[in-house]
Structure 1
Amino acid sequence: MKKNLETPTSRRTILKAAAGFMGTTVFGGLPFSAFAQAATLKPADRCFVFVYFSGGWDQLLAFDPRDPEVFTPERVAETRILPGYNLFTDGTDPFPIMPAELPGAGPSNITFGPAVGELAKHYDVMSVVRGINMTTLAHEEGMRYFITGKRPIGAAARGSSTATEIVGQMVPNVPIPSIAYGVESYNDRFSGSANALRVSRSKDLVDTLSPSKKRLDSQIEAELLALGSAPITCDEAALSAGGVGQTYESSREQVKQVINSQLNEAFDFALAKNDTVRTTYGLQPNGSNSYDSAAGRAALVATALKLGISQCVSINLVGGLDTHFGTQTTHLSNLRSGFNALAALVKDLKNSVHPVSGRKFIEHTTILVFSEFARTPLINATNGRDHHLTNSCLLMGAGLKHNMVFGHSGDIGMAPGLVDLKTGAKDSNNGENILPEHIIATVLASANLDYSITRVDPLKALLK
């Protein structure tokens, strides 16, 4: 039976709940001395960003385009691929994009679809993986498959989120190791300190880190924060057999100290002190609604990493992509808003210096961009596209080779391509499918982490 959140939770209940995560804190398992003042925070040496495009994206518009002069309507019975670039009503260039050559980077080896927008200019720090076989057409299964690198059991996720795995292995010296914004997060083998702080909007993060009396989404969390203002009573001490009370006293002190550090102000983009962030991401002063736009979410990612607040940020950057009806232009516009926001984040990381190494932040940051599956290469009877198994993803930044395409989809119906997993080259006779677990193994291996949980080898040709 669902608990009535208006009913106050007793401290006795809180202490009993505390026994479930002994030795941890709400925001991590580090001693407060590691991050007592915001001025002393240091960014993690390796940072990770997991960017989710919700609803299933059209890869003809993004990372696996086709030349409309080759894949014509006259050949559709043969190819079963119809790019449909001529159907846009916003003046979009109907041809795939080959970005202008960047100084010192050489020409682009990646062709992009027309929705990629400004992100295409950053081909020098990215690689594309094409022809991924999702093995499912269900939204929840595909999403959870990519988040964990393990095929779900039915719709139920298996294993930990990749961000949890990273934090669990690396134990970063930051106050909130992992943030999950609008994305599910799982932990099946690490202590509570590896859990993500889950929020559904930027204001949730501000409220959670603020010395506020406002009720949070979770009554338990609200009561935990409230405990910081009152000493433990004799009754509570009596419940602390085995050290629960002592452990939780330490935990709540850390919570109180985190709040006193005013980390909330870093995420309140309306403040004058965050004017540079607003300018970088095109956010309007006092435009609270825009702070949950794709650009606002990208700004949140940069803030968490650059200020040393988090090591991993998982974010639902844009949604509205489950378009089965006549919405070709709408789908493209939604995609482009996400890719342009991501381009602003990448540009920021390229321009920002990591305070420890002196190198650019992008050299310390690994980014995975994914969706649960793709859209069909044929347009349906309602002038939309349905769910399709063959997917693509984008890998960027640290530990990876760049300006590469690994794998392929077929020229008939964009079927998952069989490839040599050592090279990414087409191999119709002895090749294998690329699966989400190969991508997750590659992300872990890019930081020399243990990837054995994926039970596959990484795509070594992509590793730097």
Structure 2
Amino acid sequence: MDRRDFLKLASTAGLGVAVGGQFSGQAKAADPYSGPLWLFIHASGGWDPTSFCDPKGTTNLDSPDRMNNYLQADIRDDAGNIKYAPVADNETFFPKWRDKLLVVNGIDTGTNSHEAGVRTTWCGTLSEGRPSLAALLAGVYAPTQAMAFISNGGYDYTGNVVSLTRVPDTGTLGRIAYPNRINPGDENTRLFHTDATMQRIATARDERHQVKLSQQHLPRLRQSMSTLYTSRLGQNELKQLIQYLPEDFYDNGIARQAQVAIAAYKAGICVSANLSTGGFDTHGQHDQNHFPSLSRIWTGVNQLMEFAEEQGVADKIYVVIGSDFGRTPGYNSGNGKDHWNITSMMMMGPNIQGNRVIGSTTDRHAAINVDPTTLAPVESGGVRLTPGHVHKALRKLGGIDTSEIVGEFALLDTKEDLPIFG
């Protein structure tokens, strides 16, 4: 396959080939990645924590100023320390995962803007031009792997620390992994070239790469050339990915996206992935539209963990769930809820102590500050939880907080290091 055909296929598959100013040197096939897999689930549109992990019931369902259409007395408390709203299939999710789940309530995103909210939730700051945590993890641990960072939406700016891979069609992966097959899915299909010809093509390609690389003296262009070369070397890794893909994919979008990421992880070529689902920007008919979207997330997490168990990697997966921001207290004239800067995040994985809730809010969903040492709510003083605090803790948990790459993107507007993970 020549460069033009490769770029055409890469474009079709969404495989990023413009990448990484943070790594250098001769392009070569990377060692398989063997650390944990990070899955970031984005609830696109701005979810309503009072409909699940930060429940706010009412004493009177006829009240025009009610927070939700359920009673305070109906808030469920059968999930250990995690209370949840009696809606949206929550009862199938929270009791099941309570021992692994950490809930962080009362996070102030500082914005009601979708673009800014998505950015601060997934990179930890409102400042522009900062890579997502998913990109940083991939950039530190496996910057030259074929699919180190997979994105299905959400915030996937990379800051040039790693290439970005989008995989809207799994069939396209086969075309890239097996470029010499007329029918990539059939190992007995006719070939475009003999093995001897493919070897001559590979040799000529490698020699051409060395010549072109020696002629280029601009570091960024050399890195881009090396990235393209590395992407081509990744065909063998993509063949392994194909082998790990399931014969049947889940119908749930999050679970289906996760199956590709887990297969890539099993192949040793994936560190992190953005999983995304929409339907949360419910300015009208909030309950009717919001609750099914929440149920999709719960089903997606259940199924992705089921698949991870089957693949023997469930104990190596981090799951972080968040959204643009929250939704306003109470309903508008169209029975919807508008944008609200206070939100929640949830996470589970290795070394995350479950059955815990950090942060809290008032009856009208205003954030309550926390003690910076104990994280207990305080009436005065204390610290207002922000996405930056969560990201500082996640960077430390991921072991990348002291890396040179991450140091270039320090969270300067977040001064405190809160013991969110102990």
User: Among 211, 215, 218, which residue is 1:241 paired with?
Assistant: 215
Amino acid at match of 1:118: T
Question: Structure 2 CA distance, aligned partners of 1:299 and 1:235?
Answer: 34
User: Among 93, 97, 101, which residue is 1:126 paired with?
Assistant: 101
Following superposition of structure 1 onto structure 2, how do residues 246-325 of structure 1 map, counting pairs within 5 Å? 254-261=230-237, 262-263=239-240, 265-266=242-243, 274-275=246-247, 278=248, 283=250, 290=251, 293-316=253-276, 318-325=277-284
Question: Structure 2 CA distance, aligned partners of 1:390 and 1:246?
Answer: 44
Amino acid at match of 2:124: G
Tell me if the contact between 2:23 and 2:143 (Cα under 8 Å) persists in the aligned partners.
Answer: no
- State the Cα deviation string for residues 385-421 of structure 1 (Å, max 9, x = none): 111111000021123221100000111x211111113
Amino acid at match of 1:258: G
Tell me if the contact between 2:141 and 2:271 (Cα under 8 Å) persists in the aligned partners.
Answer: no
Match for residue 417 of structure 1?
Answer: 368
Following superposition, the deviation at residue 375 of structure 1 comes to 1.4
Amino acid at match of 1:420: D
Tell me if the contact between 1:398 and 1:446 (Cα under 8 Å) persists in the aligned partners.
Answer: no
Following superposition, the deviation at residue 242 of structure 1 comes to 3.8
Following superposition, the deviation at residue 197 of structure 1 comes to 1.8
Following superposition, the deviation at residue 380 of structure 1 comes to 0.7
Match for residue 39 of structure 2?
Answer: 49
Question: Structure 2 CA distance, aligned partners of 1:29 and 1:235?
Answer: 11
Match for residue 192 of structure 2?
Answer: none
Following superposition, the deviation at residue 171 of structure 1 comes to 3.9
Tell me if the contact between 1:408 and 1:426 (Cα under 8 Å) persists in the aligned partners.
Answer: yes
Q: In angstroms, what is the RMSD of aligned CA positions?
A: 3.9
Amino acid at match of 2:292: S
Tell me if the contact between 1:374 and 1:389 (Cα under 8 Å) persists in the aligned partners.
Answer: yes
Question: Structure 2 CA distance, aligned partners of 1:150 and 1:387?
Answer: 19
Matched, 1:369 2:321: yes
- SS at 1:454 equivalent: coil
Question: Structure 1 CA distance, aligned partners of 2:222 and 2:381?
Answer: 60
Residues 351 and 33 of structure 1: is their aligned pair in 2 closer, same or farther, counting only changes over 3 Å?
A: closer
Question: Structure 2 CA distance, aligned partners of 1:187 and 1:350?
Answer: 30
- State the Cα deviation string for residues 111-146 of structure 1 (Å, max 9, x = none): 123223533211111100001111100101100111
Tell me if the contact between 1:97 and 1:112 (Cα under 8 Å) persists in the aligned partners.
Answer: yes
After TM superposition, the score normalised by the length of structure 1 is 0.69
User: Among 137, 154, 179, which residue is 1:166 paired with?
Assistant: 137
Following superposition of structure 1 onto structure 2, how do residues 8-407 of structure 1 map, counting pairs within 5 Å? 31-32=28-29, 34=31, 41=32, 44-68=34-58, 70=59, 72-73=60-61, 77=65, 81-85=66-70, 95-99=74-78, 108-113=80-85, 114-115=87-88, 116=90, 118-120=92-94, 121-152=96-127, 157-171=128-142, 174-188=145-159, 190=161, 194-200=162-168, 202=170, 209=177, 211=179, 231=205, 237=211, 240-242=214-216, 254-261=230-237, 262-263=239-240, 265-266=242-243, 274-275=246-247, 278=248, 283=250, 290=251, 293-316=253-276, 318-349=277-308, 352-354=311-313, 361-362=314-315, 364-407=316-359
Amino acid at match of 1:83: N
Q: Return 5+ residue gaps in structure 1 as ranges.
A: 10-17, 35-40, 87-93, 101-107, 215-226, 284-289, 355-360
After TM superposition, the score normalised by the length of structure 2 is 0.76
Question: Structure 2 CA distance, aligned partners of 1:178 and 1:98?
Answer: 37
Match for residue 89 of structure 1?
Answer: none
Question: Structure 1 CA distance, aligned partners of 2:205 and 2:226?
Answer: 12
- State the Cα deviation string for residues 259-281 of structure 1 (Å, max 9, x = none): 244245247x5xxxx24xx3xx6
Question: Structure 1 CA distance, aligned partners of 2:265 and 2:92?
Answer: 22
Following superposition, the deviation at residue 45 of structure 1 comes to 2.1
Match for residue 287 of structure 1?
Answer: none
Tell me if the contact between 2:137 and 2:398 (Cα under 8 Å) persists in the aligned partners.
Answer: no
Residues 195 and 339 of structure 1: is their aligned pair in 2 closer, same or farther, counting only changes over 3 Å?
A: same
Amino acid at match of 1:463: F
Residues 264 and 308 of structure 1: is their aligned pair in 2 closer, same or farther, counting only changes over 3 Å?
A: closer
Residues 124 and 314 of structure 1: is their aligned pair in 2 closer, same or farther, counting only changes over 3 Å?
A: same
Question: Structure 2 CA distance, aligned partners of 1:328 and 1:380?
Answer: 12
Following superposition, the deviation at residue 347 of structure 1 comes to 3.9
- SS at 1:370 equivalent: strand
User: Among 368, 381, 385, which residue is 1:430 paired with?
Assistant: 381
Following superposition, the deviation at residue 366 of structure 1 comes to 2.3
Following superposition, the deviation at residue 372 of structure 1 comes to 0.6
- State the Cα deviation string for residues 20-79 of structure 1 (Å, max 9, x = none): 868979xx9873263xxxxxx5x52222111111011121222111244x4x346665xx
- SS at 2:42 equivalent: strand
- SS at 2:116 equivalent: helix
Amino acid at match of 2:254: A
Residues 324 and 209 of structure 1: is their aligned pair in 2 closer, same or farther, counting only changes over 3 Å?
A: farther
Question: Structure 1 CA distance, aligned partners of 2:204 and 2:227?
Answer: 14
Identical aligned pairs, as a percentage? 22
Following superposition, the deviation at residue 374 of structure 1 comes to 1.1
Amino acid at match of 1:52: H
